[in-house]
Structure 1
Amino acid sequence: MTGIADVRELVTRNLRQSGIFIAFIAIVVLFSLLNPNFLSPGNLTNIVLQYSYILILAIGMVIVIIAGHIDLSVGSLVALTGAVSATVVIANGNPWWMGVLAAMVVGLLAGAWQGFWVAFVGIPAFIVTLAGMLVFRGLTYEVLDNISLSPFGGSYYLIANGFQNGLFGGPGYDVFTLVVFAIAVVGYAISQFRARQAKIAYQQAVEAFPLFILKIVLVAAVVMWFAYQLAQSRGLPNVLILLAALILIYTLVTQKTVFGRHVYAIGGNLSAAQLSGVKVRKVNFFIFVNIGFLASIAGIVYSSRSNGAQPGAGNMFELDAIAACFIGGAAVTGGVGRVTGAMIGGLIMAVMSNGMQLMGVDQSAQQVVKGLVLLLAVAFDVYNKRRAGTR
């Protein structure tokens, strides 16, 4: 009976974790049937370029949500850091890297400012970041003097619009892109195999080996197909390299470091974390410093993508990032969530937006659909918790 119960729990858990992937695949298939151009190399490249900054924000936002907080200011901070960078590079004629550094410093300072009020003064993050949303937006108007600045051009423009291609040649496609993705697939397979061996060593339930191999093969096939589409278009986008590095780093930080375990502990049970010796104030402070930093990276990418800075930039970005996290499996009550889940949630939002745009759906209808998807995702999370509580 125990073995049957373990298998049932394994299947249930895998279905729950795989539900977001199944939903993502279903949405992709739906839009590919409705519009043949959806899976074209050019459109797939555009999805990566157009929504990369939301995914960057979602990396920081999921850590905030895991800890039981929320951040409403990241959209305004994206606008402010982009405005500072534009002022340094465009208005004052400084090199592109000085604009990048200035934006990062502003993001870190803004994160430290909000982290101080949340961690050391004890004001709820919702209130602090709501105030930050207003303050940073007002500072953006002051920095830009209520006008737009453009263009960046040169190296700054290539941050979000450049590609790595042609390094290995290729008959009609970029071989370098395929090689990079192939290396990533091998790394993924090795990490999955090691994780499986570790579970076996600790006598934890794992899926049957044929199913494990099938999962690796399917992931590899999808990834290499995507790589081939990019290789047929313009090659490997610079912003995808940046995003991949951030995903890898923050996955390791959240899953393999003391800081990551403390974040989960705070969100899961604050009182228990305090009694266990977790320095809650310090962890909360650096959570907001971190999202301030990532908001600056998103601001750099967005201003590079749009080749300028506008006072109204970043509007509603915080809601897209929050939606990506909740759709990707983060719990409203904290303590649950993964960087990879937030990325899948962000891709679902990106695919829906892009697909509806190709179909000519009105902006108002797009907002309705996104809102309903978010509501259903949170309702599914609540249902799973209640079901687990009744066992």
Structure 2
Amino acid sequence: MTSTQDLAGSAPAGDGGARPPAPAAPRRTSNVLTLMRDNVRTSGIYLAFVAIVLLFTWRTDGVLLSPSNLTNLVLQYSYILVLAIGMVMVIIAGHIDLSVGSVVALTGAVSAVLVIQQGMPWWVGMVAALVVGLLVGAWHGFWVAYIGIPAFIVTLAGMLLFRGMTLRVLDNVSLSPFPEQYQQVASGFLNGWFGGYGYDVFTLVVFAVAVAGYAVTQLRARRARQAYAQQVESMPLFVLKLLVVAAVVMAFAWQLATSRGLPVVLIVLAVLILVYAAVTKSTIFGRQIYAIGGNLSAAQLSGVNTRKINFWVFVNMGFLSAVAGIIYSSRSNGAQPAAGNMFELDAIAAAFIGGAAVTGGVGTVVGAIVGGLIMAVMSNGMQLLGVEQSTQSIIRGLVLLLAVAFAVYAKRRGSGVR
């Protein structure tokens, strides 16, 4: 006759049949130096950003962080940050896109022809621009994913092709102005909803809610890592990090509130960052992008439909290029044949400075945004100081080279290669 003990499985003799409970996984905490050492690439980006901001704040006697200049900084570089979001996903997948500047010009040109020349409603131009961007992305994705031509060649051809199409669409002339509603995308502000006392209360409320949401998500993420016995910072350090982030964000909000309020384009950018950060971190599609860039053969053997993923990566890049095209044409209040010139290099630089690996498989949306902000602060700071354009290009090129060299060093350090 089978005993209860036999059904439960064999138990060590002498323990009365009771199985000892599994020991709880230890919760590991770490100080700031350990975390910075273990995450040298990420921490280096943030430290560099802080150092650059402090340097130019000192050199410009505080003008860099003045309310009006911070507002202009958001308005002037928002489209580059939008492109950086898409570009970092392309680079993570192991590709590159050299055509985004031309696509920005083409989508803005299509919108301008429909709205300005043909008198259609402003929203029709935006929808048309998005459709064109999706079609361009599908064109690139087809040649890269299904024909097998390297993305460098496909998008280099696209850079020439879509620049030529822009010239055809505009007939080599500029078109302006857009209706006021269209201009609000890049130049509009939300303010006065909750009143004001020399500053915009609505802007402060929005940022305060954002800080509270960030604190909640960080607390949940910390608890999740603890549950899997992953290394986390000590509680005092965790609280200090939240307080520093809250102070920086609210100081930025105060500067905006004392200027013109909350820019509409900043809301658009924030939504894109949140959505794409979630997509890359928490979805199957995002994990498959990292898998393809990290090891294409392993991803194929694991059952990842690499052609499908690569196709949609480029479709997404086309979509975000169209969004950037709408923002840029709205900001410039028109469409020009030379619009978007060299934007692809700024977007690529933002991704690499933000920690993306040249070989693919590494990078984050937030890192690309920080990389874009580093480039924006440098450009804006040097303009305020009256630095010559040639010198600006030299400095930006050196910063990009040093950022990639640092990423290579961090990778070799992590793998033990010297």
Is the pair's TM-score, using the shorter chain for normalization, greater than 0.5? yes
Q: 2:233 matched to 1:204? A: no
Match of 2:241 among 205, 215, 223: 215
Partner of 2:54: 29
Q: 2:354 matched to 1:323? A: no
Q: Is the 8 A contact 2:30 2:232 kept in 1?
A: no
What is the CA-CA distance between 1:384 and the residue it aligns to? 1.2
| Residues 335-350 of structure 1 aligned to structure 2 (within 5 Å) | 335-350=361-376
Quote the Cα distance in structure 2 between the aligned partners of 1:308 and 1:211: 49
Q: 2:43 matched to 1:18? A: yes
Quote the Cα distance in structure 1 between the aligned partners of 2:34 and 2:247: 28
Q: 2:332 matched to 1:306? A: yes
The change in CA–CA distance for 1:149 and 1:389 in structure 2 (over 3 A counts) is: same
Quote the Cα distance in structure 2 between the aligned partners of 1:333 and 1:12: 23
Q: 2:64 matched to 1:38? A: yes
Quote the Cα distance in structure 1 between the aligned partners of 2:231 and 2:253: 33
Name which one, 1 or 2, has greater alpha-carbon Rg.
2
Partner of 1:167: 193
What is the CA-CA distance between 1:3 and the residue it aligns to? 10
Partner of 1:282: 308
Quote the Cα distance in structure 2 between the aligned partners of 1:5 and 1:46: 41
Q: TM-score, normalised by structure 1?
A: 0.98
Quote the Cα distance in structure 2 between the aligned partners of 1:340 and 1:200: 23
The one-character-per-residue Cα deviations of 1:83-140 (angstroms, maximum 9, x if unpaired) are 0000010000000000000000000000000000000000000000000000000000
Partner of 1:83: 109
Q: Which amino acid aligns with 1:328?
A: G
Moved more, 150-159 or 311-320: 150-159
Q: Which amino acid aligns with 1:89?
A: V
Q: What stretches of structure 2 of length at least 5 have no aligned partner? A: 1-25
| Structure 1 SS opposite 2:292 | helix
Quote the Cα distance in structure 1 between the aligned partners of 2:207 and 2:39: 26
Q: 2:361 matched to 1:361? A: no
| Structure 2 SS opposite 1:171 | coil
Quote the Cα distance in structure 1 between the aligned partners of 2:43 and 2:411: 17
What is the CA-CA distance between 1:154 and the residue it aligns to? 1.3
The change in CA–CA distance for 1:3 and 1:169 in structure 2 (over 3 A counts) is: closer
The one-character-per-residue Cα deviations of 1:276-322 (angstroms, maximum 9, x if unpaired) are 00000000000000000000000000000000000000000000000
Identify, as 1 or 2, the structure richer in helix. Answer: 1
Partner of 1:123: 149
Q: 2:285 matched to 1:259? A: yes
Quote the Cα distance in structure 2 between the aligned partners of 1:78 and 1:41: 29
What is the CA-CA distance between 1:15 and the residue it aligns to? 4.1
| Residues 89-168 of structure 1 aligned to structure 2 (within 5 Å) | 89-168=115-194
Count of aligned pairs: 390
Q: C-alpha root-mean-square deviation of aligned residues, in Å?
A: 1.5
| Structure 1 SS opposite 2:105 | helix
What is the CA-CA distance between 1:161 and the residue it aligns to? 0.3
